[in-house]
Structure 1
Protein backbone atom coordinates (compact mmCIF):
# COMPACT_ATOMS: atom_id res chain seq x y z
CA UNK A 1 0.00 0.00 0.00
CA UNK A 2 1.49 3.30 -1.12
CA UNK A 3 0.56 5.91 1.49
CA UNK A 4 2.07 9.39 1.43
CA UNK A 5 2.45 11.26 4.73
CA UNK A 6 4.35 14.35 3.58
CA UNK A 7 1.49 16.72 4.39
CA UNK A 8 0.12 14.92 7.44
CA UNK A 9 2.02 16.96 10.03
CA UNK A 10 1.04 20.29 8.49
CA UNK A 11 -2.57 19.14 8.22
CA UNK A 12 -2.59 18.07 11.86
CA UNK A 13 -1.17 21.43 12.93
CA UNK A 14 -3.78 23.27 10.89
CA UNK A 15 -6.52 21.11 12.39
CA UNK A 16 -5.28 21.87 15.91
CA UNK A 17 -5.30 25.61 15.21
CA UNK A 18 -8.82 25.50 13.82
CA UNK A 19 -10.05 23.47 16.79
CA UNK A 20 -8.40 25.91 19.20
CA UNK A 21 -9.95 28.91 17.44
CA UNK A 22 -13.41 27.37 17.53
CA UNK A 23 -13.06 26.38 21.19
CA UNK A 24 -11.79 29.82 22.19
CA UNK A 25 -14.67 31.60 20.48
CA UNK A 26 -17.14 29.23 22.11
CA UNK A 27 -15.66 29.97 25.53
CA UNK A 28 -15.50 33.76 25.13
CA UNK A 29 -18.70 34.47 23.24
CA UNK A 30 -20.92 31.77 24.75
CA UNK A 31 -19.70 30.48 28.11
CA UNK A 32 -18.37 33.87 29.25
CA UNK A 33 -20.94 36.08 27.54
CA UNK A 34 -22.57 36.84 30.90
CA UNK A 35 -19.45 38.71 32.06
CA UNK A 36 -18.42 40.10 28.69
CA UNK A 37 -21.26 40.88 26.29
CA UNK A 38 -23.98 41.07 28.95
CA UNK A 39 -22.11 42.91 31.70
CA UNK A 40 -18.90 44.73 30.75
CA UNK A 41 -19.51 48.52 30.85
CA UNK A 42 -23.28 48.14 30.80
CA UNK A 43 -24.75 51.24 32.42
CA UNK A 44 -21.39 52.98 32.62
CA UNK A 45 -17.70 52.13 32.43
CA UNK A 46 -17.12 52.75 36.13
CA UNK A 47 -19.96 50.53 37.34
CA UNK A 48 -19.23 47.29 35.48
CA UNK A 49 -15.53 46.90 34.92
CA UNK A 50 -13.37 44.03 33.70
CA UNK A 51 -12.73 42.18 36.99
CA UNK A 52 -15.53 39.56 36.63
CA UNK A 53 -14.25 38.70 33.15
CA UNK A 54 -10.69 38.41 34.46
CA UNK A 55 -11.79 36.01 37.20
CA UNK A 56 -13.62 33.78 34.73
CA UNK A 57 -10.72 33.82 32.28
CA UNK A 58 -8.22 33.07 35.05
CA UNK A 59 -10.27 30.05 36.06
CA UNK A 60 -10.49 28.90 32.45
CA UNK A 61 -6.73 29.27 31.97
CA UNK A 62 -6.19 27.18 35.10
CA UNK A 63 -8.33 24.38 33.69
CA UNK A 64 -6.51 24.51 30.35
CA UNK A 65 -3.09 24.42 32.02
CA UNK A 66 -4.19 21.49 34.18
CA UNK A 67 -5.36 19.21 31.39
CA UNK A 68 -3.19 20.22 28.40
CA UNK A 69 0.53 20.33 27.84
CA UNK A 70 3.03 22.10 25.63
CA UNK A 71 2.13 23.20 22.10
CA UNK A 72 -1.63 22.41 22.04
CA UNK A 73 -2.04 24.28 25.34
CA UNK A 74 -0.21 27.33 24.00
CA UNK A 75 -2.29 27.26 20.81
CA UNK A 76 -5.52 27.27 22.82
CA UNK A 77 -4.42 30.00 25.23
CA UNK A 78 -3.30 32.15 22.30
CA UNK A 79 -6.65 31.64 20.60
CA UNK A 80 -8.44 32.48 23.85
CA UNK A 81 -6.40 35.68 24.15
CA UNK A 82 -7.26 36.78 20.62
CA UNK A 83 -10.95 36.00 21.11
CA UNK A 84 -11.10 37.94 24.38
CA UNK A 85 -9.41 40.94 22.77
CA UNK A 86 -11.93 40.76 19.91
CA UNK A 87 -14.74 40.61 22.44
CA UNK A 88 -13.36 43.63 24.29
CA UNK A 89 -13.41 45.68 21.09
CA UNK A 90 -16.87 44.40 20.23
CA UNK A 91 -18.14 45.78 23.54
CA UNK A 92 -16.61 49.18 22.81
CA UNK A 93 -17.69 49.53 19.19
CA UNK A 94 -20.77 47.34 18.83
CA UNK A 95 -21.99 46.85 22.37
CA UNK A 96 -25.58 47.93 21.89
CA UNK A 97 -27.76 50.66 23.44
CA UNK A 98 -26.94 49.81 27.06
CA UNK A 99 -23.44 51.26 26.68
CA UNK A 100 -22.15 54.81 26.24
CA UNK A 101 -18.76 56.32 27.00
CA UNK A 102 -17.48 59.71 28.05
CA UNK A 103 -14.00 61.11 27.58
CA UNK A 104 -13.34 60.40 31.25
CA UNK A 105 -14.08 56.70 30.68
CA UNK A 106 -11.07 56.36 28.38
CA UNK A 107 -8.61 55.97 31.25
CA UNK A 108 -10.78 53.32 32.92
CA UNK A 109 -11.00 51.34 29.69
CA UNK A 110 -7.26 51.60 29.05
CA UNK A 111 -6.54 50.37 32.57
CA UNK A 112 -8.94 47.47 32.12
CA UNK A 113 -7.35 46.43 28.86
CA UNK A 114 -3.92 46.63 30.47
CA UNK A 115 -5.19 44.22 33.12
CA UNK A 116 -6.60 41.91 30.44
CA UNK A 117 -3.25 41.85 28.65
CA UNK A 118 -1.51 41.24 31.95
CA UNK A 119 -3.57 38.11 32.49
CA UNK A 120 -1.93 36.47 29.48
CA UNK A 121 1.54 37.81 30.28
CA UNK A 122 1.27 36.43 33.84
CA UNK A 123 4.26 38.43 35.10
CA UNK A 124 6.58 36.75 32.63
CA UNK A 125 5.25 33.22 33.12
CA UNK A 126 2.59 33.42 30.43
CA UNK A 127 2.66 33.97 26.69
CA UNK A 128 5.63 35.76 25.09
CA UNK A 129 5.42 39.53 25.30
CA UNK A 130 5.82 39.88 21.54
CA UNK A 131 2.86 37.58 20.91
CA UNK A 132 0.61 39.49 23.31
CA UNK A 133 1.69 42.82 21.78
CA UNK A 134 0.87 41.60 18.29
CA UNK A 135 -2.54 40.28 19.33
CA UNK A 136 -3.41 43.51 21.15
CA UNK A 137 -2.32 45.87 18.37
CA UNK A 138 -5.84 46.32 17.00
CA UNK A 139 -7.26 47.29 20.39
CA UNK A 140 -4.33 49.58 21.13
CA UNK A 141 -4.81 51.36 17.81
CA UNK A 142 -8.47 52.10 18.59
CA UNK A 143 -8.19 53.09 22.26
CA UNK A 144 -6.76 56.58 21.52
CA UNK A 145 -10.03 57.41 19.75
CA UNK A 146 -11.83 57.06 23.08
CA UNK A 147 -9.76 59.85 24.62
CA UNK A 148 -10.05 62.13 21.55
CA UNK A 149 -12.47 65.03 22.01
CA UNK A 150 -15.68 64.94 19.99
CA UNK A 151 -14.95 67.84 17.66
CA UNK A 152 -11.60 66.31 16.71
CA UNK A 153 -13.31 62.96 16.10
CA UNK A 154 -15.83 64.61 13.79
CA UNK A 155 -13.07 66.29 11.81
CA UNK A 156 -11.11 63.05 11.66
CA UNK A 157 -14.20 61.23 10.44
CA UNK A 158 -14.80 63.79 7.69
CA UNK A 159 -11.15 63.62 6.65
CA UNK A 160 -11.25 59.82 6.47
CA UNK A 161 -14.36 60.01 4.29
CA UNK A 162 -12.69 62.55 2.01
CA UNK A 163 -9.60 60.38 1.62
CA UNK A 164 -11.72 57.40 0.62
CA UNK A 165 -14.56 58.97 -1.34
CA UNK A 166 -13.54 62.50 -2.22
CA UNK A 167 -15.26 65.60 -0.86
CA UNK A 168 -18.19 64.43 1.26
CA UNK A 169 -21.79 65.38 0.72
CA UNK A 170 -24.70 64.79 3.05
CA UNK A 171 -25.46 61.53 1.28
CA UNK A 172 -21.88 60.23 1.25
CA UNK A 173 -21.39 59.71 4.97
CA UNK A 174 -21.61 55.95 5.65
CA UNK A 175 -24.21 54.68 8.04
CA UNK A 176 -22.96 52.54 10.93
CA UNK A 177 -21.89 49.29 9.24
CA UNK A 178 -21.95 45.72 10.32
CA UNK A 179 -18.97 44.57 12.33
CA UNK A 180 -15.99 44.85 9.94
CA UNK A 181 -13.27 42.26 9.48
CA UNK A 182 -10.85 44.52 11.34
CA UNK A 183 -11.28 47.73 13.31
CA UNK A 184 -8.92 50.58 12.53
CA UNK A 185 -8.35 54.04 13.96
CA UNK A 186 -8.16 55.35 10.38
CA UNK A 187 -11.34 53.64 9.23
CA UNK A 188 -14.29 56.08 9.02
CA UNK A 189 -16.73 53.41 10.15
CA UNK A 190 -14.67 52.74 13.28
CA UNK A 191 -14.49 56.46 14.06
CA UNK A 192 -18.23 56.74 13.47
CA UNK A 193 -18.91 53.97 15.97
CA UNK A 194 -16.86 55.80 18.59
CA UNK A 195 -19.03 58.85 17.92
CA UNK A 196 -22.18 56.74 18.18
CA UNK A 197 -21.15 55.58 21.66
CA UNK A 198 -19.87 58.99 22.76
CA UNK A 199 -22.07 60.28 25.56
CA UNK A 200 -22.13 64.01 24.93
CA UNK A 201 -24.27 66.63 23.23
CA UNK A 202 -21.87 67.45 20.39
CA UNK A 203 -21.75 63.84 19.18
CA UNK A 204 -25.52 63.49 19.42
CA UNK A 205 -26.07 66.72 17.51
CA UNK A 206 -23.66 65.69 14.75
CA UNK A 207 -25.24 62.26 14.31
CA UNK A 208 -28.78 63.63 14.24
CA UNK A 209 -27.89 66.31 11.71
CA UNK A 210 -25.80 64.06 9.47
CA UNK A 211 -28.17 61.12 9.41
CA UNK A 212 -31.41 63.04 9.92
CA UNK A 213 -32.37 61.24 13.10
CA UNK A 214 -35.47 62.52 14.92
CA UNK A 215 -34.62 65.44 17.18
CA UNK A 216 -36.29 63.76 20.16
CA UNK A 217 -34.40 60.48 19.69
Structure 2
Protein backbone atom coordinates (compact mmCIF):
# COMPACT_ATOMS: atom_id res chain seq x y z
CA UNK A 1 0.00 0.00 0.00
CA UNK A 2 2.77 2.46 0.93
CA UNK A 3 4.81 1.54 -2.15
CA UNK A 4 2.27 3.10 -4.52
CA UNK A 5 3.59 6.58 -3.60
CA UNK A 6 7.17 5.82 -4.73
CA UNK A 7 8.55 6.15 -8.22
CA UNK A 8 10.82 3.50 -9.66
CA UNK A 9 14.06 3.87 -11.61
CA UNK A 10 17.78 3.18 -11.54
CA UNK A 11 19.21 6.06 -9.53
CA UNK A 12 22.72 5.23 -10.68
CA UNK A 13 21.90 5.78 -14.34
CA UNK A 14 21.99 9.52 -14.96
CA UNK A 15 20.65 9.18 -18.47
CA UNK A 16 17.56 7.31 -17.30
CA UNK A 17 17.12 9.73 -14.42
CA UNK A 18 17.15 12.58 -16.92
CA UNK A 19 14.36 10.95 -18.92
CA UNK A 20 12.32 10.39 -15.75
CA UNK A 21 12.93 13.99 -14.67
CA UNK A 22 11.78 15.36 -18.03
CA UNK A 23 8.71 13.17 -17.89
CA UNK A 24 7.79 14.54 -14.49
CA UNK A 25 8.26 18.14 -15.59
CA UNK A 26 6.25 17.72 -18.79
CA UNK A 27 3.52 15.40 -17.56
CA UNK A 28 3.44 16.33 -13.87
CA UNK A 29 3.20 12.64 -13.12
CA UNK A 30 5.21 10.02 -11.23
CA UNK A 31 4.61 7.43 -13.93
CA UNK A 32 2.06 5.46 -15.87
CA UNK A 33 1.18 3.18 -12.96
CA UNK A 34 0.09 5.99 -10.62
CA UNK A 35 -3.49 6.10 -9.48
CA UNK A 36 -5.44 9.28 -10.03
CA UNK A 37 -5.64 11.86 -7.22
CA UNK A 38 -9.36 11.12 -6.89
CA UNK A 39 -8.68 7.42 -6.29
CA UNK A 40 -6.10 8.19 -3.64
CA UNK A 41 -8.31 10.74 -1.91
CA UNK A 42 -10.72 7.89 -1.17
CA UNK A 43 -8.16 6.84 1.43
CA UNK A 44 -8.84 9.90 3.58
CA UNK A 45 -7.26 10.57 6.93
CA UNK A 46 -10.69 10.71 8.51
CA UNK A 47 -11.56 7.20 7.40
CA UNK A 48 -8.14 5.80 8.22
CA UNK A 49 -7.69 7.39 11.62
CA UNK A 50 -10.96 8.62 13.04
CA UNK A 51 -12.86 5.37 12.81
CA UNK A 52 -10.27 2.82 13.83
CA UNK A 53 -8.45 5.18 16.18
CA UNK A 54 -11.60 6.11 18.04
CA UNK A 55 -12.73 2.51 18.29
CA UNK A 56 -9.36 1.21 19.47
CA UNK A 57 -8.87 3.98 22.03
CA UNK A 58 -12.37 4.50 23.42
CA UNK A 59 -14.79 1.81 22.31
CA UNK A 60 -12.84 -1.39 22.91
CA UNK A 61 -12.84 -0.95 26.68
CA UNK A 62 -16.57 -0.27 26.60
CA UNK A 63 -17.17 -3.42 24.56
CA UNK A 64 -15.08 -5.46 26.97
CA UNK A 65 -17.00 -4.14 29.99
CA UNK A 66 -20.32 -4.63 28.21
CA UNK A 67 -19.60 -8.29 27.50
CA UNK A 68 -18.64 -8.81 31.14
CA UNK A 69 -21.79 -7.09 32.42
CA UNK A 70 -24.09 -8.99 30.10
CA UNK A 71 -22.46 -12.28 31.06
CA UNK A 72 -23.03 -11.56 34.77
CA UNK A 73 -26.61 -10.41 34.15
CA UNK A 74 -27.40 -13.57 32.24
CA UNK A 75 -25.94 -15.78 34.97
CA UNK A 76 -28.05 -13.99 37.59
CA UNK A 77 -31.18 -14.48 35.49
CA UNK A 78 -30.46 -18.19 35.10
CA UNK A 79 -29.86 -18.50 38.82
CA UNK A 80 -33.19 -16.84 39.65
CA UNK A 81 -35.01 -19.19 37.29
CA UNK A 82 -33.43 -22.20 38.97
CA UNK A 83 -34.42 -20.96 42.42
CA UNK A 84 -37.98 -20.31 41.21
CA UNK A 85 -38.41 -23.91 40.09
CA UNK A 86 -36.69 -25.23 43.20
CA UNK A 87 -33.42 -26.21 41.58
CA UNK A 88 -30.65 -25.40 44.05
CA UNK A 89 -28.01 -27.64 42.55
CA UNK A 90 -25.52 -24.87 41.83
CA UNK A 91 -24.77 -21.51 43.30
CA UNK A 92 -23.65 -18.49 41.29
CA UNK A 93 -20.06 -18.72 40.02
CA UNK A 94 -18.14 -15.53 39.23
CA UNK A 95 -17.44 -15.31 35.50
CA UNK A 96 -13.90 -15.23 34.13
CA UNK A 97 -12.54 -11.81 33.22
CA UNK A 98 -13.35 -11.00 29.59
CA UNK A 99 -10.21 -9.96 27.72
CA UNK A 100 -9.89 -8.51 24.24
CA UNK A 101 -6.10 -8.19 24.44
CA UNK A 102 -5.67 -10.08 21.17
CA UNK A 103 -7.94 -7.60 19.44
CA UNK A 104 -6.06 -4.72 21.05
CA UNK A 105 -2.76 -6.08 19.79
CA UNK A 106 -4.03 -6.46 16.23
CA UNK A 107 -5.66 -3.03 16.19
CA UNK A 108 -2.53 -1.45 17.64
CA UNK A 109 -0.47 -2.97 14.84
CA UNK A 110 -3.03 -1.78 12.30
CA UNK A 111 -2.93 1.76 13.68
CA UNK A 112 0.86 1.67 13.42
CA UNK A 113 0.61 0.82 9.74
CA UNK A 114 -1.97 3.56 9.20
CA UNK A 115 0.33 6.10 10.87
CA UNK A 116 3.19 4.99 8.62
CA UNK A 117 0.96 5.16 5.55
CA UNK A 118 -0.37 8.60 6.49
CA UNK A 119 3.11 10.10 6.87
CA UNK A 120 4.22 8.60 3.57
CA UNK A 121 1.10 9.84 1.78
CA UNK A 122 1.62 13.39 3.06
CA UNK A 123 5.30 13.62 2.08
CA UNK A 124 5.36 11.58 -1.14
CA UNK A 125 1.95 12.60 -2.48
CA UNK A 126 0.41 15.68 -0.87
CA UNK A 127 3.74 17.55 -0.63
CA UNK A 128 5.46 15.86 -3.56
CA UNK A 129 5.75 19.04 -5.65
CA UNK A 130 7.58 21.26 -3.13
CA UNK A 131 9.43 18.44 -1.36
CA UNK A 132 10.20 15.42 -3.54
CA UNK A 133 10.28 17.17 -6.91
CA UNK A 134 11.64 20.64 -6.18
CA UNK A 135 13.54 20.76 -2.88
CA UNK A 136 17.15 21.92 -3.47
CA UNK A 137 16.45 22.86 -7.09
CA UNK A 138 18.23 24.55 -8.77
CA UNK A 139 20.57 24.64 -5.76
CA UNK A 140 20.55 24.15 -2.01
CA UNK A 141 21.03 27.86 -1.41
CA UNK A 142 18.02 28.81 -3.55
CA UNK A 143 15.57 26.20 -2.25
CA UNK A 144 15.86 25.57 1.47
CA UNK A 145 13.86 23.15 3.58
CA UNK A 146 12.79 25.97 5.88
CA UNK A 147 10.58 27.27 3.08
CA UNK A 148 8.43 24.13 3.48
CA UNK A 149 7.78 24.59 7.19
CA UNK A 150 4.59 26.54 6.58
CA UNK A 151 3.22 23.60 4.60
CA UNK A 152 4.26 21.24 7.38
CA UNK A 153 2.51 23.44 9.92
CA UNK A 154 -0.73 23.39 7.93
CA UNK A 155 -0.55 19.61 7.64
CA UNK A 156 -0.01 19.16 11.38
CA UNK A 157 -2.91 21.48 12.20
CA UNK A 158 -5.18 19.41 9.96
CA UNK A 159 -3.98 16.21 11.61
CA UNK A 160 -4.60 17.56 15.09
CA UNK A 161 -8.18 18.36 14.10
CA UNK A 162 -8.73 14.74 13.06
CA UNK A 163 -6.82 12.44 15.38
CA UNK A 164 -7.48 11.62 19.01
CA UNK A 165 -4.98 12.90 21.56
CA UNK A 166 -3.66 9.40 22.49
CA UNK A 167 -2.68 8.86 18.84
CA UNK A 168 -1.04 12.25 18.32
CA UNK A 169 2.57 11.26 18.94
CA UNK A 170 2.26 8.14 16.80
CA UNK A 171 0.91 9.95 13.76
CA UNK A 172 3.40 12.82 14.10
CA UNK A 173 6.24 10.31 14.45
CA UNK A 174 5.06 8.71 11.21
CA UNK A 175 5.19 12.10 9.53
CA UNK A 176 8.72 12.76 10.79
CA UNK A 177 9.88 9.33 9.64
CA UNK A 178 8.44 9.96 6.18
CA UNK A 179 10.09 13.41 6.13
CA UNK A 180 13.48 11.83 6.74
CA UNK A 181 12.75 9.20 4.08
CA UNK A 182 11.90 12.01 1.67
CA UNK A 183 15.03 13.98 2.54
CA UNK A 184 17.25 10.92 2.07
CA UNK A 185 15.59 10.26 -1.27
CA UNK A 186 16.26 13.83 -2.39
CA UNK A 187 19.91 13.66 -1.32
CA UNK A 188 20.71 10.24 -2.78
CA UNK A 189 18.18 9.77 -5.60
CA UNK A 190 17.60 13.38 -6.59
CA UNK A 191 18.19 12.96 -10.31
CA UNK A 192 20.42 14.93 -12.69
CA UNK A 193 18.97 18.33 -11.83
CA UNK A 194 20.22 18.22 -8.24
CA UNK A 195 23.86 18.96 -7.49
CA UNK A 196 25.34 18.84 -3.99
CA UNK A 197 28.72 20.42 -3.28
CA UNK A 198 30.86 20.10 -0.13
CA UNK A 199 29.99 23.71 0.69
CA UNK A 200 26.29 22.74 0.81
CA UNK A 201 26.78 20.44 3.79
CA UNK A 202 26.53 23.26 6.34
CA UNK A 203 23.25 24.44 4.80
CA UNK A 204 21.91 20.87 4.83
CA UNK A 205 22.85 20.51 8.50
CA UNK A 206 21.02 23.75 9.24
CA UNK A 207 17.95 22.45 7.40
CA UNK A 208 18.06 19.23 9.41
CA UNK A 209 18.11 21.28 12.61
CA UNK A 210 15.10 23.28 11.40
CA UNK A 211 13.21 20.04 10.76
CA UNK A 212 14.24 18.64 14.13
CA UNK A 213 13.19 21.69 16.11
CA UNK A 214 9.91 21.90 14.23
CA UNK A 215 8.90 18.44 15.43
CA UNK A 216 10.17 19.06 18.97
CA UNK A 217 8.21 22.34 18.98
CA UNK A 218 9.80 23.75 22.11
CA UNK A 219 8.81 20.74 24.19
CA UNK A 220 5.18 20.66 23.00
CA UNK A 221 5.89 18.19 20.19
CA UNK A 222 7.64 14.85 20.09
CA UNK A 223 10.21 13.88 22.74
CA UNK A 224 13.65 15.20 21.82
CA UNK A 225 15.18 11.72 22.02
CA UNK A 226 12.66 10.33 19.54
CA UNK A 227 13.36 13.12 17.08
CA UNK A 228 17.14 12.85 17.47
CA UNK A 229 17.03 9.12 16.77
CA UNK A 230 15.03 9.58 13.57
CA UNK A 231 17.00 12.49 12.10
CA UNK A 232 20.26 10.65 12.82
CA UNK A 233 19.70 8.62 9.67
CA UNK A 234 20.37 11.65 7.46
CA UNK A 235 23.53 12.86 9.20
CA UNK A 236 26.00 10.34 7.68
CA UNK A 237 24.75 11.26 4.20
CA UNK A 238 25.25 14.96 4.84
CA UNK A 239 28.74 14.19 6.15
CA UNK A 240 29.55 12.38 2.90
CA UNK A 241 28.37 15.41 0.95
CA UNK A 242 30.82 17.54 2.96
CA UNK A 243 33.78 15.48 1.71
CA UNK A 244 35.86 16.32 -1.33
CA UNK A 245 35.33 14.25 -4.46
CA UNK A 246 38.80 12.68 -4.26
CA UNK A 247 38.08 11.40 -0.73
CA UNK A 248 34.80 9.83 -1.85
CA UNK A 249 36.45 8.16 -4.85
CA UNK A 250 39.26 6.72 -2.72
CA UNK A 251 36.76 5.36 -0.20
CA UNK A 252 34.61 3.82 -2.94
CA UNK A 253 37.64 2.11 -4.46
CA UNK A 254 38.55 0.70 -1.05
CA UNK A 255 35.05 -0.72 -0.55
CA UNK A 256 34.95 -2.10 -4.10
CA UNK A 257 38.15 -4.04 -3.37
CA UNK A 258 36.59 -5.70 -0.34
CA UNK A 259 37.70 -3.21 2.29
CA UNK A 260 35.60 -1.21 4.72
CA UNK A 261 34.46 2.34 4.25
CA UNK A 262 36.08 4.89 6.54
CA UNK A 263 32.64 6.41 6.96
CA UNK A 264 30.61 3.28 7.67
CA UNK A 265 28.58 3.28 4.44
CA UNK A 266 28.20 0.89 1.53
CA UNK A 267 29.40 1.31 -2.04
CA UNK A 268 25.93 2.22 -3.36
CA UNK A 269 25.66 5.18 -1.00
CA UNK A 270 29.10 6.46 -1.96
CA UNK A 271 28.26 6.08 -5.64
CA UNK A 272 24.98 7.95 -5.24
CA UNK A 273 26.71 10.86 -3.56
CA UNK A 274 29.24 10.99 -6.40
CA UNK A 275 26.41 10.95 -8.96
CA UNK A 276 25.25 14.28 -7.54
CA UNK A 277 28.62 15.96 -8.13
CA UNK A 278 29.23 18.16 -11.16
CA UNK A 279 33.02 18.49 -11.06
CA UNK A 280 35.18 16.99 -13.78
CA UNK A 281 36.90 14.53 -11.43
CA UNK A 282 33.60 12.91 -10.43
CA UNK A 283 32.31 12.87 -14.01
CA UNK A 284 35.50 11.29 -15.36
CA UNK A 285 35.52 8.62 -12.63
CA UNK A 286 31.85 7.72 -13.08
CA UNK A 287 32.13 7.52 -16.85
CA UNK A 288 35.31 5.45 -16.80
CA UNK A 289 34.48 3.06 -13.95
CA UNK A 290 30.69 2.73 -14.23
CA UNK A 291 29.84 3.97 -17.76
CA UNK A 292 27.58 6.61 -16.23
CA UNK A 293 27.30 9.67 -18.51
CA UNK A 294 27.86 13.19 -17.30
CA UNK A 295 25.00 14.80 -15.42
CA UNK A 296 22.61 16.93 -17.45
CA UNK A 297 22.30 19.48 -14.64
Fold shared per TM-score above 0.5: yes
Query: Is 1:202 paired with 2:297?
Result: no
CA contact under 8 A between 1:121 and 1:128: conserved in structure 2? yes
Q: Secondary structure at the match of 1:101?
A: coil
Q: Structure 2: where are the runs of 5+ without partners?
A: 1-70, 72-97
- C-alpha change, 1:214 and 1:112, in structure 2 (3 Å) is closer
* Bigger mean CA offset, 67-76 vs 115-124: 67-76
Q: Structure 1: where are the runs of 5+ without partners?
A: 166-183
* More relative contact order, 1 or 2 (CA 8 Å, 6+ apart): 2
Q: Once superposed, what is the RMSD of the aligned Cα atoms?
A: 2.3
Query: Is 1:144 paired with 2:144?
Result: no
CA contact under 8 A between 2:245 and 2:282: conserved in structure 1? yes
CA contact under 8 A between 2:286 and 2:293: conserved in structure 1? no
Inter-partner Cα distance in structure 2 for 1:10 and 1:116: 32
Query: Is 1:22 paired with 2:101?
Result: no
CA contact under 8 A between 1:145 and 1:185: conserved in structure 2? no
Inter-partner Cα distance in structure 2 for 1:14 and 1:53: 31
1:207 positional shift: 0.7
Inter-partner Cα distance in structure 1 for 2:284 and 2:112: 46
1:82 positional shift: 0.2
Query: Is 1:126 paired with 2:221?
Result: yes
Alignment of 1:152-191 (within 5 A): 152-163=247-258, 185-191=264-270
Q: Secondary structure at the match of 1:98?
A: coil
- C-alpha change, 1:95 and 1:185, in structure 2 (3 Å) is farther
Structure with the largest fraction of helix: 2
Instruction: State how many pairs are aligned.
Output: 199
Alignment of 1:1-217 (within 5 A): 5-163=100-258, 185-213=264-292
TM-score by length of 2: 0.62
